[in-house]
Amino acid sequence: MAETRSAFALNDAGMAQFRRLVERYPTKQSALMPALWLIQDQEGHVPPEAVDWLVEQLDVSAARVHELLSFYTMFRAEPQAEYVLQVCHNISCHLSGARPLLEHLKQRLGIGIGETTPDGKFALEGVECLAACGMGPAMQLGKHFYEKLTPARVDEILESLRRGVVPRADTDRELAE
């Protein structure tokens, strides 16, 4: 692997995973998406130095990396709010009350859709179908979904997040050991 000259570095665990990716994916460029995920999982977004780093490590053009950052909605080139609340506004969730729920969230957070609270704690986004249609309205936060949401449940979730505690999500179900 080339010596890095760019200002970015993955931590040791991330670097070990990165090496494994490059080993397993058939071409360096095909490891680009998972590499972007590693960076974003560490940094919360993909900073410009990381783009330079990828260009060195994977022999891709910077244009290619930027192309991916803009095409895929989950990759973020800018720092994000601590909690990005992504509420599905597609058809089934709409039928089960996504619109009033979004209104409720806007009011509680004092921001519009696509905005971030001044303290940088919350952002609110409307997103397309999350594949939780039978359990709507649904909201994604990080790796998990909250489902069958009501205004009361959303208030509880916000309350908990304000205290810095991420409440157990519906997709985080209890599993047998």
Partner 1 sequence: MSANGQLLSARFGRRDGHKLSVYEAEGGYRALKKALKEMSPADVREQVKAAGLRGRGGAGFPTGVKWGFVPANAEKVYFFVNADESEPGTFKDRYLLDYDPHQTIEGSILSSYAVGAALCFIYIRGEFGWLVDRVNRAVEEAYAAGYLGQNILGSGYSLEMIVHKGAGAYICGEETGLINSVEGKKGQPSIKPPFPAVSGFLGAPTIVNNVETVATVPWILNEGPDAYRRYGTEKSPGTKLWSVSGPVKSPGVYEVPLGIPFREFFEEHVGGMADGERLKAVIVGGSSVPVLTADEVMATNLDYESLAAAGTMLGSGGMIVIPESSSMVDLIEVLMHFYWDESCGQCTPCREGTGWLHKVVGRVRRGAGEHGDLERLETICNGMAGLTICPLSDAAVMPMRSFLAKFRTEFETLIRKDPAPEPTSRWARGEVETR
Residues that bind partner 1 (CB under 8 A): 24-27, 29-34, 36-37, 58, 60, 64, 67-68, 71-75, 89-92, 94-100, 127-136, 140, 142-144, 147-150, 153, 169, 171-176
- Pair 132, 90: CB distance under 8 Å: no
By the 10 Å C-beta count (0-12 exposed, 13-18 middle, 19+ buried), 68 is classed as middle
- Phi and psi for 115 in degrees, rounded to 5? -110, 165
> Shortest approach of partner 1 to residue 119 CB, angstroms?
25
What DSSP designation does 2 have? Answer: P
Handedness of CA 31, 88, 150, 173 (dihedral sign): negative
Please report how close the Cβ of residue 86 comes to ligand FES at its closest, in angstroms: 11
Instruction: Report in angstroms how near the CB of residue 127 gets to ligand FES at its nearest.
Output: 9
- The correct pick among 138, 139, 154, 157 for binding ligand FES (CB under 6 A) is 138
141 binds ligand FES (CB under 6 A): no
Contact range with ligand FES by CB under 6 A, out of 1-9, 36-44, 133-141, 149-157 = 133-141
Count the neighbouring beta carbons within 10 Å of the beta carbon of residue 12. 8
Query: Binding to ligand FES by residue 132, rule CB under 6 A?
Result: yes
The C-alpha R_g of the chain, in whole angstroms, comes to: 19
Segment interacting with ligand FES, rule: CB under 6 A, options 4-12, 15-23, 27-35, 127-135 = 127-135
Nearest partner of 8 among 54, 45, 69, 77, judged by Cα: 54
> What is the nearest approach in angstroms of ligand FES to the Cβ of residue 97?
11
124 sits in which H/E element: strand 122-127
Applying CB under 6 A, the residues found at the interface with ligand FES are 88, 90-93, 129-133, 136, 138
